[in-house]
């Protein structure tokens, strides 16, 4: 492996980090050049929109999803249904004529809820609808009968800790937002166990309810007793709260047969349209194929998975082939914390500089309003120009902070990320419940979502230059045993410049801009560390990579 070190002054370089070199060694494109390039995609964008919204592909993503959801049903991590779903999609993607269709093996959690039953015995008999939470332990075979204490917050639970011992804690926390309120689902059992409770029942994390419990993943904490935990409906939580406030004694019988098995083999499902100029560079679109074991998983996240498939299908149908590879990944094990995506990241992160953008749709496919984006200011300006191509369907907004469990690993390391932004007003009515079925989906709205997803992903994949990135990685992470130069601290955060050219081209590029370049094979001890950068090159089979290291 070649290893070449260059030293030059810090004040002269940062403005060029993250930019691509043009093929002839000239200056990078100005933003005006990029705007003009994007405007040139107007006809292609209109063709995509026409095909997806008005043409032969109209309603196709909806119809494909309906057949899939009705045939396979819910797809819990580790279940036979998820295995069947992966086999179904592998076959369907091959029949669609996509390229490099393959499965990448991962391990996912395997939990089953078993039989569940809850009954309020005092002050009257009342059947309590429950859904056990993922990873919950079972009750004893005979079940648990205990008095209930109702609290509205963790603070109230801690204040009343002495009352909670030996009881079932019922949380009746108000729904503020999913991000804020979901902590009661994820941490409720742990906090209840800390004060000696024997079980916890948590008001479903839902903005609206028709006596429907909503499930989800929860986590135990080392050293804290593991107690059974489930969600109950908003209605039952509020009823027990009213009873409790009146001083009425409440007794509940709870029986849960949940079991956790060793992790199971599963797969991320991958298909591509291979780029015709920079095939090693990746624009990734995605959704997750797994779901909870209730409903059909049509909304969460069948819709996101199927508009990602639709993006590749539309591009193929139009006879388009972008410069970069457009890769679709259907994640597995997302509902358990993105375990399939984390393993994908570990497998592919050594090529992180080749990932142009990572996109995930996992908040429904209702009426779209735009795109949420995470990246630097220059990249955001480019995304705004791309979104302007969607003016014919009036979906042009760019929002802050892309959201996606499965793409967070990449965004955390500086790769630009995007997520679909749509009308979430009813999303949590159905989320993780029996109500997540095809009845929730609207074919016209899915058409619009597919058009947005396709236009954005295609244009980014076909532009001459990659998006500007603030891609930070660990120094020497992939040097395959190379020892760091003296004076460079292992583990320092550093910036990888996204340049894929020969070393000679890069040196010429730097010199062209009057950046003083000095070759050195010696350690850099004794240099003024406040003003010096260490620029290192190394070669791999995929090409040369440039890294910028702070001394």
Does position 117 have pLDDT exceeding 90, yes or no?
Answer: yes
Q: What is the pLDDT of residue 29?
A: 82
Output the pTM of the full model.
0.83
User: Looking at residues 344-369, what average pLDDT do you find?
Assistant: 97
User: Looking at residues 422-440, what average pLDDT do you find?
Assistant: 97
Percentage of the chain lying above the pLDDT 70 cut: 80
Does position 133 have pLDDT exceeding 60, yes or no?
Answer: yes
Percentage of the chain lying above the pLDDT 90 cut: 80
Count the residues in the chain.
551
Name beta bridge partners: 419: 360, 372
Residue with more model confidence, 191 or 474: 191
Burial class (CB in 10 A: 0-12, 13-18, 19+), 129: middle
Residues 439-448 as b/e (b if ≥16 CB within 10 A, e otherwise) read: ebbeeebbbb
The dihedral sign for the CA sequence 273, 278, 279, 281:
negative
Residue with more model confidence, 426 or 528: 426
- Helix-, strand-, coil-residue percentages of the chain, each rounded to 5: 35, 25, 40
Q: What is the pLDDT of residue 1?
A: 39
- Asked whether 441 and 298 are in contact (CB, 8 A), the reply is yes
Range with lowest mean pLDDT among 338-347, 399-408, 469-478: 469-478
Does position 448 have pLDDT exceeding 60, yes or no?
Answer: yes
Does position 470 have pLDDT exceeding 80, yes or no?
Answer: no
Q: What is the pLDDT of residue 549?
A: 36
Q: What is the edge-to-edge ordering of all strands in the sheet holding 355-360?
A: 99-112, 259-273, 324-331, 278-288, 355-360, 417-422, 368-374, 397-400
Tens digits of per-residue pLDDT, 72-90? 999 999 999 999 999 999 9
Catalytic residue among 191, 310, 334, 465: 334
Query: Mean pLDDT of all residues in the chain?
Result: 86
Instruction: At 95, list the tokens.
Output: 């029949």
Q: What is the pLDDT of residue 469?
A: 86
Tens digits of per-residue pLDDT, 11-57? 334 443 334 434 444 466 899 999 999 999 999 999 999 999 999 99
- Asked whether 107 and 263 are in contact (CB, 8 A), the reply is yes
Tens digits of per-residue pLDDT, 281-324? 999 999 999 999 999 999 999 999 999 999 999 999 999 999 99
User: Looking at residues 192-196, what average pLDDT do you find?
Assistant: 98
Tens digits of per-residue pLDDT, 479-537? 333 333 333 322 322 333 333 334 455 555 555 544 554 444 433 333 333 223 334 43
Does position 364 have pLDDT exceeding 60, yes or no?
Answer: yes
Residues 297-330 as b/e (b if ≥16 CB within 10 A, e otherwise) read: bbbbbbbbbbbbbbbbbbbbbbebbbbbbbbbbb
Range with lowest mean pLDDT among 29-38, 231-240, 377-386, 537-546: 537-546
Instruction: At 411, list the tokens.
Output: 């965004």
User: Looking at residues 100-122, what average pLDDT do you find?
Assistant: 98
User: Looking at residues 424-450, what average pLDDT do you find?
Assistant: 97
N-term to C-term CA, the chain: 22
238 is catalytic: no
User: Looking at residues 352-378, what average pLDDT do you find?
Assistant: 97
Distances (CA, A) of 401 to 342, 380, 385, 408, 420: 20, 11, 18, 11, 11
């Amino acid at each position: 492996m070649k290893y070449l070190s260059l030293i030059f002054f810090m004040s002269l370089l940062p403005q060029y980090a993250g930019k691509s070199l043009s093929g002839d060694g000239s200056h990078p494109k100005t933003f005006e050049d990029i705007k003009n390039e994007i405007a040139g995609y107007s006809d292609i964008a209109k063709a995509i929109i026409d095909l997806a919204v008005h043409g032969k592909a109209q309603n196709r993503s909806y119809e494909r999803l309906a057949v899939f959801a009705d045939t396979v049903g819910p797809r819990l991590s580790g279940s036979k249904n998820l295995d069947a779903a992966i086999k179904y999609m592998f076959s369907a993607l091959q029949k669609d004529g996509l390229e490099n269709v393959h499965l990448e093996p991962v391990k996912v959690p395997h939990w089953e809820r078993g039989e569940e039953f809850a009954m309020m015995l005092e002050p009257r008999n009342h059947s309590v609808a429950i859904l056990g939470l993922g990873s919950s332990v079972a009750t004893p075979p005979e079940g648990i009968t205990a008095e209930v204490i109702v609290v509205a917050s963790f603070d109230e639970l801690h204040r009343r800790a002495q009352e909670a011992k030996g009881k079932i804690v019922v949380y009746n926390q108000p729904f503020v937002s999913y991000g804020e309120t979901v902590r009661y689902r994820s941490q409720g059992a742990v906090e209840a166990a800390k004060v000696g409770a024997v079980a916890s029942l948590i008001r479903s994390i839902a903005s609206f309810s028709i006596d429907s419990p909503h499930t989800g993943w929860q986590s135990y904490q080392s050293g804290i007793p593991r107690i059974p935990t489930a969600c109950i409906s908003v209605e039952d939580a509020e009823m027990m709260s009213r009873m409790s406030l009146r001083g009425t004694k409440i007794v509940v019988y709870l029986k849960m047969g949940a079991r956790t098995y060793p992790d199971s083999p599963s797969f991320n499902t991958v298909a591509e349209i291979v780029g015709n100029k920079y095939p090693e560079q990746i624009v990734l679109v995605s959704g997750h194929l797994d779901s909870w074991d209730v409903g059909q998983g049509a909304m969460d996240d069948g819709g996101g998975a199927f508009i990602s498939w639709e993006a590749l299908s539309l591009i193929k149908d139009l006879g388009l082939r972008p410069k970069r590879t457009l890769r679709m990944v259907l994640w597995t094990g997302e509902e358990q914390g993105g375990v399939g995506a984390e393993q994908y990241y570990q497998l592919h992160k050594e090529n992180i500089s080749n990932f142009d953008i990572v996109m995930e749709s996992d908040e429904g496919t209702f009426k779209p309003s735009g795109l949420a984006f995470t990246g630097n200011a220059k990249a955001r300006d480019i995304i705004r120009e791309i979104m302007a191509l969607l003016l014919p369907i009036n979906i042009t907004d760019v929002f802050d902070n892309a959201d996606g469990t499965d793409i967070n690993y990449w965004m955390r390391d500086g790769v630009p990320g995007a997520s679909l932004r749509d009308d979430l007003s009813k999303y949590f009515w159905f989320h993780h419940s029996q109500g997540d079925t095809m009845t929730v989906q609207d074919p016209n709205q899915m058409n619009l979502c597919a058009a947005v997803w396709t236009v954005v992903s295609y244009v980014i994949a076909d532009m001459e230059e990659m998006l500007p990135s603030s891609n930070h990685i660990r120094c020497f992470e992939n040097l395959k045993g190379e020892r760091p130069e003296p004076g460079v601290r292992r583990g320092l955060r550093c910036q990888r410049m996204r340049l894929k050219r020969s070393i000679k081209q890069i040196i010429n590029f730097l010199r062209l801009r009057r950046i003083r370049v000095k070759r050195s094979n010696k350690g850099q001890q004794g240099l003024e560390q406040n003003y010096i950068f260490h620029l290192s090159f190394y070669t791999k089979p995929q090409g040369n990579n440039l890294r910028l290291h702070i001394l």
